[in-house]
Amino acid sequence: QKEVEQDPGPLSVPEGAIVSLNCTYSNSAFQYFMWYRQYSRKGPELLMYTYSSGNKEDGRFTAQVDKSSKYISLFIRDSQPSDSATYLCAMIRITGNQFYFGTGTSLTVIP
Amino acid sequence: DGGITQSPKYLFRKEGQNVTLSCEQNLNHDAMYWYRQDPGQGLRLIYYSQIVNDFQKGDIAEGYSVSREKKESFPLTVTSAQKNPTAFYLCASRMVAGSSYEQYFGPGTRLTVT
């Protein structure tokens, strides 16, 4: 079983829709969670990072962590064509040095 | 501008040749990482380094080598022993001290070996 599972999609939504991207994980020692956006042939860009359960909001993006279910989500409100990219989740133990990544979800926002 | 630079952006080599990918950061980050990205497989860790002159193997270190002689630099050599070297290579870095765990990536180097 992989440490981090992420549905690869592809996910296609109309402009203005709310997008929900999700990852599940198996190791309860993961404490710090990140979401990256990666455009084609570019390096991943850090979007959001959270520590502990709960919600964190930044503009149109909301990151949610549910440690009891080992489930994290990224919500994108009022999605735009420029949001079309692959979204990667990542996590790390507080005492660890290695990051664990999902395989990424490909998102297309249609104008 | 602070950030991570990788060069070159595209690299082409013949099979059997060693090739070195450059990674430099001016973020004063302690730890540096090398990942390989293949379609449908996500990011796989090759090597990482927490401090100068020290580094650890990741999940797929065979056929690769690294050095960390300076805090700012973490070059990766893809040797002829690497069976499938064609891939997108990403360098990353982060602070180790304090409570910050965010990892930042460079723009990547696409290596094609024929």
| Contact between A88 and B43 using a beta-carbon 8 Å cutoff | yes
- Least confident among A11-15, A29-33, A62-66, B97-101: B97-101
As a whole number of angstroms, the distance between CA A66 and CA B36 comes to 29
Per-residue confidence (pLDDT) for residue B1, from 0 to 100: 60
Cβ-based contacts under 8 A for chains A and B: 51
Contacts of B6 by beta carbon, 8 Å cutoff, 6+ apart? A43, B21, B22, B23, B89, B90, B91, B106, B107, B108, B109
Q: Which of B3, B21, B25 is nearest to B12 (CA)?
A: B21
Is residue A81 scored above 70 in pLDDT? Answer: yes
Cα separations (Å) of B26 from A79, B31, B98, B104? 33, 12, 18, 12
Read off the tokens for B75: 């070059």
Q: Above 90 in pLDDT, residue A45? A: yes
Q: Which residues contact A56 (CB under 8 A, 6 or more apart)?
A: A48, A50, A62, A63, A64
Cβ distance B89 to B109 under 8 Å?
yes
A99-109 residue pLDDT tens: 999 999 999 99
pLDDT (0 to 100) of residue A73 = 97
Give the residue numbers in B contacting A (CB under 8 Å), as ranges. Answer: 4, 6, 31, 33, 40-43, 45, 48, 50, 56, 58, 88, 90, 99, 101-108, 110
What does pLDDT average to in each consecutive run of 10 residues of chain B (114 residues)? 89 93 96 93 93 95 97 96 94 86 94 94
Closest partner CB to B107 (pick from A43, A46, A94): A43
